[in-house]
A = this chain, B = another copy of it.
């Protein structure tokens, strides 16, 4: 039976890097018996342009019926002035919420061949391997009340609400603890419990859960401001970090930039179990739509390619194919090929297509 995959390339460099994955899918179908039933739909600014909404309800429905959603990126400065609930970013936020994709797994891993690309000293980042587990359907991203009110004197007031409940915190913490057991067995929970009650609850719930079900895992707590500092001072102190939606947004971007390989890093967002026993899941690169370089053929397709490897492993149970891809990427990097974003002296600069082709050849 064919696996149902919904492909949402999105905006900016999304479609360009997606094309390189398509070639790999063709190869896997021809040579490794991969059977995919692929549907493609517009999201983000591309959907706004055609349908007037960042994502149609039909697309959400389709996503719910798929085995996995393979996502590019959304966001376009041209649409930054539309009504708040029509901006391109709503597409990914809605997908996360409607499919209850609550745990975003963001590895920050240094590829040894790319040590030069990091802004940090080699001894600080060599061998870096952090996994950030970010909650993605709660917190200030979705809490009510929210909006902009006009006050009697004509001035305005902007409001957002951070909300976290015991069960929301527990389920994402479980993902983090389970992952840690397969890694270095350490979880650092990050919040701002000295200022925010939602952070205090976060800390308490994770402390209790740890005592109850995960006492074998080492648990530490860290304030978010300190975590931002520690990620720069000594990132290798971390194994798994678990945190809320907003802190996770900043800290995971920060952590991936430490590696100098933002264009390399994939992510997976996992949902709750469905009625059919499967789990909703969405795979996307950590980088955004990069409108400044879109259409120039210079974007790095590796994060999108590696996101597909994650999809093969986690949603389709095809670890061997995933490893084939990961090995090919690693060989290409070792051979010295680089897109502009990870360029350094003595390497060969290539564009999006050439990089994709080279992975394919491997």
Contacts and interface: CB of A to CB of B under 8 A. Distances in A.
A195 interface: yes
Interface in A106-152: 119-121, 124, 140-141, 143, 146-148, 151
A225 B250 contact: yes
A67 interface: no
A166 B156 contact: yes
Contact of A197 (B124, B159, B225, B247): B159
A165 B157 contact: yes
A59 interface: no
Interface stretch (A254-262, A293-301, A306-314, A326-334): A254-262
A154 to B, nearest CB: 9
B160 A196 contact: yes
Interface centre among A143, A226, A233 (most CB of B within 10 A): A233
B197 A158 contact: yes
Contacts of A237: none
Contact of A158 (B87, B159, B194, B200): B200
B158 A164 contact: yes
Contact of A164 (B157, B194, B232): B157
A102 interface: no
A195 B93 contact: yes
B166 A201 contact: no
Please state the number of chain copies in the assembly. Answer: 2
A11 interface: no
Contact of A141 (B165, B195, B246, B247): B195
Given A119-B124, A200-B148, A225-B249, A163 B167 contact: no
26 contacts: A80-B194, A89-B195, A93-B195, A119-B120, A119-B233, A120-B121, A120-B232, A140-B195, A147-B197, A148-B201, A151-B165, A157-B164, A158-B163, A158-B165, A158-B196, A161-B161, A192-B246, A224-B249, A224-B250, A226-B288, A229-B254, A229-B262, A231-B254, A232-B232, A232-B254, A233-B257
Interface of A: 75, 80, 84, 87, 89, 93, 119-121, 124, 140-141, 143, 146-148, 151, 155-167, 192-202, 205, 224-226, 228-229, 231-234, 246-247, 249-251, 253-254, 256-258, 262, 288
**Which 8 A-B pairs have CB atoms at the shortest separation, nearest pair first?**
A158-B201, A158-B198, A155-B166, A229-B257, A228-B254, A225-B253, A228-B250, A160-B162
Given A146-B196, A151-B166, A226-B253, 17 more contacts: A80-B194, A89-B194, A89-B195, A120-B121, A121-B121, A140-B140, A141-B196, A143-B159, A146-B197, A148-B200, A157-B166, A159-B161, A224-B250, A228-B228, A228-B250, A232-B254, A250-B250
